[in-house]
Amino acid sequence: MAFCSFSKDCDGNSFVSVENKFITKYLPEADGFAVKVYLYGLYLCKTGDSDFGLRSMAEVLKATEEKISQAFEFWQDYDLVEILSKEPFAVQYLPVRSAIGRPKKVRYEQYADFNKELQRKMQKVGKFVSAGDYLKYMRFLEENSIQPQALLLIAEYCINKQGEDVSPSYIFNKAKKLLRGGATTYEQVERELSNYNAHEGDLVAIFTALGSYQKTPDENDYSLYRKWTETLGFTREGIVAAAKKLKRGNMHTLEALLEDLYEKGKTEAQEIENYLEEREVLANLTFRIARKLGAKVSNPAIYIEEYTEKWCTYGFEDASLLELALFCLKTERGSFDCMDSIIEKLFADGIVSKESVKAFLKEKNDELKLFAKIQEICGVLRKSATNTSLIRTWRDWNFNDEMILEAAKRSATSASPIPYMNKILSDWKRQEIFEVKNIPVSEGAQTGNGGARGGYTNAAIEAVNAKSDRERYYALLREKAQVKADKFTAKANANAQFKETNTELKKMELALAKAEVFEPQRLPALQEKKRELLATRKAVLAEMGIKETDLKPQFSCKKCSDTGFLPSGKACDCYKDAK
């Protein structure tokens, strides 16, 4: 497509001709540059140079591309040209004889004083207002309900801000923003601009606190500041305090921080400083816990909200949390979720103080040492939470370490030593055998020095071997129930509303714990909110055809949870029927 061309109604000649009607009717309405553009475009129509474009014309006429396109838009208002394309820029000339368009005529004499004052203000920064620019200002005044003196005030403000880089478009943009806010008179504009000037120092202080290289506020900065102070209610000192905590942040990151502080009800400087210092302490603690767990944490905010803040609210000390994290790593539970489940259980059991946690960990570390001895006897065993928890169960059955290790020796050759040990000890418990010397020796057993029972074979243990099928049977039952629950959980978590509600419920637990200690008067409202969240969660699950019980393993036997044995160690009623 050629840059400039004749329409099919125009006649092409070997020279450039200008219709008299253009000279008599339209030329007087335009400034010299607009006429220059029109005539040069007319010449290009005749030459038909397809390689000539907007940039080429700007270079020839020593003007900007924007100014060239504005001149063509001026002639388009008169119906003398039609802009066919902006990119690439293409113009089609129309016959003057059929032109009927006529832009609104500007009464130049009405704006003589305005133009004179505008020129004076511009000359202070070495700028000169061209005839084309005068026309733009006058058209802006004609098309917008703003007083000339008000526009001059805006122009002066923009000149002070931009200096020699000021442009009509910058002034018009500023004027349009003020117009949208209802400022049309000199007094209204003066009041709005005085607010900008009053807040400039505040914004510079914020830039300094952020460590920003920006020194001059722009329109967006003023808008943000008004939002923070007038809508959100922050004080200047509070905003600066938040900015200092960000160090080398920017206005966008400060906006995000202030939104978070607003949600927490922190708008004054002192409470913001206290809150952010507390968050910084929690962030450091979160990173230290993560290192102990062997977990990777890039953004501590999520972990603070979900875990660390709650644990501290429960009353756990930093040293206790770090020791618990190390214990989780030792027992192959190196994640915040696993640590949270342990802490929730400890909190429910009233184990919170530093001394009680230390005693708990001593007991657990003793169990780990005993498990290490079992590993030496039985070979490679996984140090899982399930396996190590059995030591606690065996001790609750009143077995000492000597008896437990004796069971390990007798299970060493088994393909599944831990289940085998469990059966041996269960059988001894049933027979009330709690000392090594009381273990019966079967016929043909060999005893060596020290009374070692190397050839011992107990009838009950033989029965256990015979019932290995039952072990597999129960294992398959438990796996089936767990797999089913996992599928339902995965389906539920795929629902955004369910996931969001679950997150809110976790936060609610933390809020309830805080309120119970610090703000008891808030408990009824929070409990009501929790009931609403639970109802929402239930409704969302119902829409997906899922029940709350589906999210947990549903074992065939509710008494033993498909293990075959009750917590006391006694065989469950279902055990004899297992196949």
Retrieve residue 309's tokens.
């803040």
Question: pLDDT band at residue 352, thresholds of 50, 70 and 90?
Answer: very high
SS3 per-residue string spanning 198-253: HHHHHHHHHHHHHCCCCCCCCHHHHHHHHHHHHHCCCCHHHHHHHHHHHCCCCHHH
Tokens 């927490």 belong to residue? 264
User: What angle, 0 to 180 degrees and rounded to 10, lies between the N-to-C axes of helices 417-430 and 401-411?
Assistant: 130
pLDDT at res. 419: 86
In angstroms, the CA 365 to CA 327 distance is 8
192 Cβ partners below 8 Å, 6+ apart? 178, 181, 183
SS3 category, 364: helix
Angle of the 168-180 helix axis to the 219-226 helix axis, nearest 10: 20
Q: What is the CA radius of gyration of the chain?
A: 42
With a pLDDT cut of 90, the percent of the chain lying above it is 13
Q: What is the pLDDT of residue 467?
A: 57
Confirm if 282 and 304 have CB atoms less than 8 A apart.
Answer: yes
Residue type, 217: P
Q: Is 185 exposed, middle or buried (0-12, 13-18, 19+ CB in 10 A)?
A: middle
pLDDT at 201: 74
Does residue 321 surpass a pLDDT of 90?
yes
Give whichever of 73-82, 189-198, 324-333, 523-532 has the largest mean pLDDT: 523-532
Spatial CB neighbours of 182, under 8 Å, sequence gap ≥ 6: 188
Q: What is the 3-state secondary structure (H, E, C) of 414-483?
A: CCCHHHHHHHHHHHHHHCCCCCHHHCCCCCCCCECHHHCECCCCCHHHHHHHHCHHHHHHHHHHHHHHHH
**The tokens of 89 are what?**
């820029």
Quickly state the pLDDT bin for 318 (edges 50, 70, 90).
very high
Give me the half-sphere count of Cα atoms (radius 13 Å) on the Cβ side of residue 389. Answer: 8
Please write the tens of the pLDDT for every residue from 476-524: 788 888 888 888 888 888 888 988 898 888 888 888 887 887 788 888 8
Mind listing the pLDDT tens digit for each residue in 149-185? 999 988 988 888 788 888 888 899 889 888 887 888 9
pTM of the shown model: 0.42
Residue 544, SS3 per DSSP: coil
Query: pLDDT tens, 249-277?
Result: 788 888 888 888 888 888 888 888 888 88
pLDDT at 389 over 60: yes
At 455 the pLDDT is: 41
Please write the tens of the pLDDT for every residue from 451-465.
333 444 445 455 555
DSSP 3-state assignment of 103? coil
Structure tokens at 146: 């703003």
Crossing angle of helices 65-77 and 32-47, in 10° steps, is 90
Taking Cα atoms as reference points, which of 230, 281, 224, 279 lies closest to residue 250?
Answer: 224
Overall residue count recorded for the chain in this entry? 579
566 and 572 Cβ atoms separated by less than 8 Å = yes
Whether the CB-CB separation of 391 and 371 falls below 8 Å is answered with: yes
Cβ proximity of 300 and 283 under 8 Å: yes
Parallel, antiparallel or unpaired: strands 4-6 and 81-86: unpaired
- Tens of pLDDT, residue by residue over 2-28, are 567 666 566 555 678 888 888 888 888
Q: Give residue 444's pLDDT.
A: 33
In angstroms, rounded to a whole number, what is the distance separating the alpha carbons of residues 426 and 400? 14
CA angle 569, 410, 391 (to 5 degrees): 40
Strands of the sheet with 81-86, listed across from one edge: 4-6, 89-93, 81-86
> What SS3 state is found at 57?
helix
Lowest-pLDDT range, 88-102, 402-416, 486-500? 88-102
Residue 447's pLDDT is: 35
The DSSP output letter for 91 is E
pLDDT at residue 240 greater than cutoff 90:
no
